[in-house]
Amino acid sequence: MKFEEDLSYRRSDIQGLRGIAVLLVVFFHAGLRLPGGFIGVDVFFVVSGYVITSSLIRESTGPETIKLQLQNFYIRRAKRLIPALSTLILAVMGASYLIESSWGEQQRTALSGIASTFSFANIRYALDSSGYFSLAAKTNPLLHIWSLSVEEQFYIVFPILVLVLLRKSRNFYKTKFVLLVIAFISFILSILLSYGLPPFESFARAQQIAFYMPFTRTWEFLAGVLIALPMSSKWVTFNRFATIRSMQILGMFGILFSSFFIQDWGVFPGFSVLIPVVSTVVLIWAGSLNSGGLITRCCSNSWLVFIGNISYSWYLWHWPFIVFGQRIWPNTPFVRELAAISSLLPALLSYQFIESRWQNRGNRPKKDLTSILFLFVLLPLLAGALLFWQANRTQPNNIQVDQSTKSDLGVDCNYLEESCFDLHPDRDRQILLVGDSHAAALFPLVKFVGDQNDVGVNIVSRPGCPFLNRELAFYLYTFESQNLMTRTDCVKVYSEAIGWLSSDRVDLVLFANNAPLYVGEPRLNQSFDLRVSCFTVGENCDYSNDHSLRLEQYKDFLISSVMEILEYSDRVILIAPLPYQFRDPSDFVRDENRGLGTPRSAVDGIRASVLQVLNDVSSMDDRIAVWDPIETLCNDEVCPESTDGESNYSDNSHLSVAGTFLMERSLNAALQLK
C-alpha cells in the first residue's frame, strides 16, 4: 500500500474513536460512574499523533520546500485550533466576571486564560501547588486546556523533526528508530517522575510535572506517529480477519477497562497509562489493516462520527459549563450532568460557525495569520488583563479573609500543611491539642486562652491524620494521583505524642478532627469529592465506602485512643465537628450584604452521626466531655461565612483566625481553667 493512499483524515472509525474519547472525558467530569474517564485525553493524544503524521506524510510528497510545507501545516493547525479556543477563553473571562469572586478566583481565571492563549496552561498548572485531581483544580474553569497546550507544544516541535527525517531519508526504518528512541526516553522520564524515583525522588511536585509536561507525554503522541508511518509489506498484506477482530476487541476492552478501573491503581500517568495508549494503538492499527471488523464498524457509527466531529468544540465548552453550573447551583442534584449536556449547544454553534468556517477558509496565509493574531490572540489577552486588573481594583476592603494560622505566633511551621509537634511544658498546667488540620486551625484560639489563664498549650497535628490509636488513618481524594495507603506518618505522630504524654502528665487533652470526612458522611459527598480513609496499617486496608461500617470503625478506634490518653491526662475534651461551607469563602465576597452561608439544617445533617458517636464515647467516663461551639458559629437559619466584615473561614472547612475567636467565650467555659 502506498502511503499516499492512507487517507486517514477520511477514516470514519478515527472520528468515532475521537467521539468515544470525548464522551469518556465528559462523563468523568460530569460525575458519572466512570472514575477513569480522564484517559480519554490519552486516547486523543494517540489519535492526534496518528492523524498529524498522516498529514505530514502527504505534505512531504509534494514539491514544496520544507519551509513552505511547515508554513502550510502551522496555518492549518492555527485555523483549526485557535479561533474556537479563543472564543471559549473570551466567554470564560466574561462568565468569571459575573460569577466568580474577585478575591483570588477571577485573578486565577485571568492568568489561566492568558497562559492558555500562549499555550502555556499545562506549565502553569504543573508549577501550581495543587494537582489535576485536587478540589482546588476542579473549580478552575480553564483547567482542561492543559491538554490542548501539551498538544500545541508537540505540534510546534514535531513537524520540523518529521519533515526533516522524511526529506533526508526515505528509509522509514531509520525514521522510526529515531522516534522510538525519543519515545523511550519520554516514557522513562514519565515513570521516574510519576513514582518519584531517582534522580527525582526529592523533586518538588514530580507527579504534577509527569502529568502536565510535554516531555513526559511525548511518547503517547509518538505511539500514534509510529503506526502512521508506512509499515513493511508483511503487515500491509496481513489480513487474517479473526486475528484483526481479536485485536479490535482487546483494544476496545482496554479502553473501557481503563475507564472504569484505572483510577484505583493510584499513580498516574505511571505504568497504568500504557493500557489506554496501547489499546488505542491497537484499534487504529487494526482498523487500517481491515475496516470490516465489528469494532471498527461500531466506531464508524454515524452518531459516534458526529460526536467525533464536534469533539474539539465540546471538549472546550463542557468543563466551564460544569464548573460555573456548580458555582451557581452548588447543591442542585444532577447539576454537573445537566451542565455537560447543556454545553452541547455552544459546542455545536462553535463547531458550525467558528471551527468549521475557519478550517474551510481558502488558503490565504498572510491574511489568515493577521486575522488570527488580532481577533483570537490579542483579544483574549486583553480580556484576561482587564479581568485581572478589575479584580484587583474592585476587591472589597471590608471583608478580610485571614488565611494565616501560625505566622505571627512564634512557631516554625504551618500546621495546615505540615506535621507539627510543638511542645512547651514550661507552665504548671498543660493542655495538649491533638488531631488533624482542623485541630491546627484551632491552635491560635487555644493558645490565646491558655496564655490568658497561665496554662501551657502544646500541639501535635498532622493533616489527614484523625489521631486514632496507633493505627494508620488518613484520607485521600477519590481521584488523587498517588496511593498513600501504606504511609506511616500518622502512626509516627501518634506514637510520639503518647510517648510525650507518658513522660509528663498533662491536665487536659483537646481532641479535634474532620470526622465527617473520615467516615464518608453521605451528605458531604453532594458538594465534595468522596474521600477514602483507612483505619488499618499495611496493604490489607479497608477501602469500604459504607458509611455505617466506617462510623463503627471510627467509634471503636476513638474509644481506644481516648482510653489510652486518659492514662496520662486528667480530662479529654472531644471537639464536635465544625460547620462546613459548601463553597469556598471567597465565593461570598460579592454577596457579603446577603449574609450568605451554609443552611443550618445542612450543617446539622452532616454532623449528626459523628456527634452521636462523640456523645456515646463521652458517656462512658466522667473524664470525657464534648465541646460543641455550634451556637457561636451559627444561628437557627444559617452558618454564616463572615461576621462583621471578616471571613470566618480560610477555606470551605477550616476556620480562619477570626472565625476561631468567635468561640473564645465558649472555649473558656468548656475548659474550666479558672
pLDDT means over runs of 10, the chain (674 residues): 40 90 93 86 94 79 71 82 93 89 76 92 78 61 93 88 73 81 94 84 74 93 87 54 76 90 73 93 83 74 91 95 82 83 95 85 71 81 90 51 37 44 66 86 86 83 75 43 51 77 80 84 49 46 64 87 90 92 52 59 87 94 93 87 76 80 90 76
Please give the pLDDT value at position 85.
93
The residue type found at 186 is S
In whole angstroms, how large is the CA radius of gyration of the chain? 28
The DSSP element (H or E) to which 245 belongs, if any, is helix 241-261
- Label each residue of 322-346 as H, E or C: HHHHHHHCCCCCCHHHHHHHHCHHH
CA 674 to chain centre: 48
CB 290 within 8 A of CB 239: yes
- Residue ranges of alpha helices (H) inside 204-334 are 206-212, 218-228, 233-236, 241-261, 274-289, 294-299, 302-309, 311-328
Q: Indicate the SS3 state at residue 574.
A: strand
Instruction: Identify whether 269 is preceded by a cis peptide bond (ω within 30 of 0).
Output: yes
* String of DSSP letters for 520-537: T-GGGGGTSPPEEE--SS
CA 332/CA 320 separation, integer angstroms: 17
DSSP-based three-state secondary structure for 569: strand
- CA 201, 206, 211, 216: dihedral to nearest 10 degrees? -70
Q: What is the pLDDT of residue 455?
A: 84
The Cβ of residue 55 has, within 10 Å, a number of other Cβ atoms equal to: 18
In one-letter notation, the amino acid at residue 313 is S
Q: Are 510 and 432 in contact (CB under 8 A)?
A: yes
Superfamily of the domain at 420-671: SGNH hydrolase (3.40.50.1110)
Q: Where are the beta strands (DSSP E) in 309-398?
A: none
- Domain(s) labelled CATH 3.40.50.1110 in the chain stretch across 420-671
- Tell me what pLDDT residue 315 has: 96
* Count of beta carbons in the 10 Å neighbourhood of residue 7: 9
Q: Cell triple for residue 358? A: 475557519
For residue 109, which of 402, 394, 391 has the smallest C-alpha distance?
A: 391
Torsional sign, CA 438, 439, 443, 446:
positive
The residues near 380 (Cβ < 8 Å, ≥ 6 apart) are 86, 89, 90, 93, 113, 114, 116, 117
According to the model, what pLDDT value does residue 525 have? 46
Provide the pLDDT for residue 204.
Answer: 56
Q: How far is CA 327 from the centre of its chain?
A: 16
| Residue type present at position 324 | F
Contacts of 369 (CB under 8 A, 6+ apart): 75, 78
